[in-house]
């Protein structure tokens, strides 16, 4: 499968490397194509292409949106709305206000993130795209092959299109997620995005970032 990763931060690079190991063709879209650290990383991951957002979005049959929230709308516009049409987009963003944590480790969502989630906003920008919120409730180091002695963590997803969620669930299974939970429509993104705030606060207080959410069933 041809997969585009929009964003060359830690999450984007982690997903690109993991998906490439599974045999997928991956291209990273970035506004920083000449960034020295990215060029150095690509030397060790030479099967992965890089290019501007528009080339990556056109390349991918499935697109991962891995930008920081402040740059997300601009990245989508730079990629070209037409390059998303009728495609599945996996939105891993969280609409944080960009100010970082307070002294208690609490992050804040943007004011709009409470009224309309980041996932809802992305879906509104890309009305002909099947947006699925996923992989947003943990750090990038846990996105590929998560393993915990206490059991399998849950990957909570949300989106309006059931077939798109099935396709995303298949990809998530490939990268090691065993418990994938469909929480409903894209409006549920506001609750999934708040989970990241909770995930971060726990890590900040405990000085450990190797934790994830699970769903217990009786």
Q: Give the whole-angstrom CA distance, residue 200 versus residue 127.
A: 31
Q: Tokens 């390349």 identify what position? A: 59
Q: What pLDDT, on the 0 to 100 scale, is given for residue 115?
A: 67
Q: Which domains does the chain have, with CATH numbers?
A: 2-206 (3.40.50.720)
* For residue 198, pLDDT beyond 70: yes
The pLDDT assigned to 114 comes to 56
Instruction: At 193, list the tokens.
Output: 């995005």
CB distance 80 to 128 below 8 Å: no
Collapsed DSSP state (helix, strand, coil) of residue 88: strand
Instruction: Enter the pTM of the model.
Output: 0.96
Q: What percent of the chain has pLDDT over 90?
A: 95
């Amino acid at each position: 499968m041809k997969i585009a990763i929009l964003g060359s931060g830690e999450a984007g690079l982690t997903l690109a490397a993991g998906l490439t190991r599974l045999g997928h063709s991956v291209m990273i879209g970035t506004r920083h194509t000449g960034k020295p650290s990215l060029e150095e990383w690509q030397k060790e991951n030479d099967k992965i292409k890089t290019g501007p957002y528009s080339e990556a979005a056109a390349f991918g049959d499935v697109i991962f949106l891995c930008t920081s929230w402040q740059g997300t709308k601009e990245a989508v516009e730079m990629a070209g709305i037409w390059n998303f049409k009728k495609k599945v987009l996996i939105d891993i963003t969280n609409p944080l206000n960009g100010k970082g944590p307070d002294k208690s480790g609490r992050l804040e969502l943007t004011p709009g993130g409470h009224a309309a989630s980041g996932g809802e906003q992305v879906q509104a920008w890309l009305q002909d795209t099947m947006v699925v919120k996923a992989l947003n409730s943990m750090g990038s180091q846990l996105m590929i092959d998560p393993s915990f002695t206490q059991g399998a963590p849950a990957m909570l997803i949300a989106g309006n299109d059931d077939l798109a969620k099935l396709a995303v669930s298949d990809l998530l299974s490939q990268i090691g997620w065993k418990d994938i939970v469909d929480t409903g429509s894209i409006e549920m993104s506001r609750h999934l995005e708040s989970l990241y705030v909770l995930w971060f606060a726990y890590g900040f207080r405990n000085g450990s970032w190797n934790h994830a959410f699970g769903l217990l069933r009786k």
